[in-house]
Amino acid sequence: MAIIVVDEARTTHRPFRFPWLTMGLSDIAAWYITLANAIIYRGLRPGEKKSEFTDVEAIKWYTLSLASITKRLADPAESNSEGLIIAVTGFVCHDASIGNFDRFAIHMGGLERLISKRGGLQALSSPFLRLMISWLDLAGATYFNSKPRFHIPKDSITQIDTGNDSQYLQQLLETWDADCPTLGDIISAMKATAAVASYINQHHDIDGFWVDDVRIARVLSPAYHQILTLEGIPLPDDPSNPEYSGIAAREAFRRVALIFLAAIKLRMGGAAYEMKNHLEAFLQISQLPLVNWGIVAELNLWAHIISAMQEESPNRAWHVLTIVGIMESLNLQTGNQAIDIARGVIWTDSIDEGKSDSLCREIDSYLEATVSQRLENIPQDANIDTSSRDIES
């Protein structure tokens, strides 16, 4: 069984599976849960739904792992070992991979307590274990829209030269900050997201980039932390409050930044169970009444384009309708012009894969239909005979 798991990890890419095997082989309980997870995934096609424990063999390995952990938690000598932390991390990883976030939260809470007893995340000896726990923590935080439990590992990639990529975004954020000075804290989160896009644009064509899970995690983690550690600001009950529109826009753009990063996770072959939650949240916020979305129309346009590229009908139709409305306020005539604006904000072609072309066609079709409808509604002068006879004469 071990040979099959190792060979499959070499030939079939799933994020972190191959580097995790080193961890899994270092502890018996971690190895058991690794086997259980491998059996669940065995034979599945990409994108196929994973059902847990329909296989007797998977149940056997899961039960053995759980029994080992339970026994060691009761042993004072074992309960503080790094091996036990590896085993519980295996359970958290298993929960995240199949999308069982209720159980994930229980196991992550236990893992946090074990790590605290050891002196914190940085006290663990394995750099990969530290990164893996931090990455799983972010998976839970993005799903629950909550703050991460741990700080990012020290070897995360935080210094990224964005060159001229972020100049337009910088101008938009400065305008927004001038109009809504109390909401400047999201600017760093938007810049961190833009830095991720810039890094990917600079490195995506390097051989093996999209299977270098550790590197991508080191790039994404700082942006996730910037976004998820922002303090929540309640929306004022009174829409006439001068901060009402800015607070709504702040949360809307924060959600779209998470949607953007989730799309990158999907591109690297991982799961993004949080995507649906953030798409729904942005849709609800974008439909709030009496919000002045014209505060920064270009950012709003970017937000709807990014969301529309990840949406299916009928929600996609709402985004198309809103995009066309924003285009009118910005005097944009075609879908390509709208996409060009979004490209200047935060963008990477790596998550496009033809989606922007499809969206452009929908936008242009809607614009064409709207123009035709307007022409039909123009009243004709009864004195004008438009028959072909008069034209020919």
CA distance 302 to 334: 15
State how far the alpha carbon of 111 is from the alpha carbons of 27, 115, 120, 216, in Å. 16, 6, 11, 24
Q: Which CB contacts under 8 angstroms, 24+ apart, belong to 285-289?
A: 285/248, 285/251, 285/252, 285/255, 286/252, 286/318, 286/322, 287/318, 288/235, 288/248, 289/239
**% pLDDT > 90, the chain:** 63
| Short-list 55, 87, 49, 56, CA closest to 71 | 87
DSSP 386: -
Task: Indicate whether 157 pLDDT > 60.
Answer: yes
pLDDT tens digits, 101-116: 999 999 999 999 999 9
Residue labelled with tokens 């409305």 = 325
pLDDT tens digits, 219-240: 999 999 999 999 888 999 999 9
Q: What is the dihedral of CA 48, 53, 58, 64, to 10 degrees?
A: 140
Lowest mean pLDDT among 160-164, 209-213, 281-285: 160-164
Task: Indicate whether 385 pLDDT > 60.
Answer: no
Q: 115-153 burial, b for 16+ CB within 10 Å, e for fewer?
A: beebeebeebeeeebbbbbbbbbbbbbbbebeebbbebb
* pTM of the predicted structure, to 2 decimals: 0.89
| Segment holding 392, helix H or strand E | helix 388-392
Cβ(338)–Cβ(332) below 8 Å:
yes
Contacts of 217 (CB under 8 A, 6+ apart): 16, 131, 135
pLDDT tens digits, 334-361: 999 999 999 999 999 999 989 999 999 9
Instruction: Dig out the tokens for 224 from the structure.
Output: 């996730």
Helix axes 297-310, 355-376, angle to 10 degrees: 110
| Segment holding 96, helix H or strand E | helix 82-98
Stretch 248-268: mean pLDDT: 95
Task: Indicate whether 382 pLDDT > 70.
Answer: no
Instruction: Dig out the tokens for 360 from the structure.
Output: 């452009």
pLDDT of amino acid 225: 95
Instruction: Dig out the tokens for 157 from the structure.
Output: 């990639």
pLDDT of amino acid 319: 95
Task: Indicate whether 63 pLDDT > 60.
Answer: yes
CA distance 366 to 372: 10
DSSP 160-173: ---TTTTHHHHHHH
Instruction: Dig out the tokens for 297 from the structure.
Output: 């129309």
CA distance 111 to 87: 10
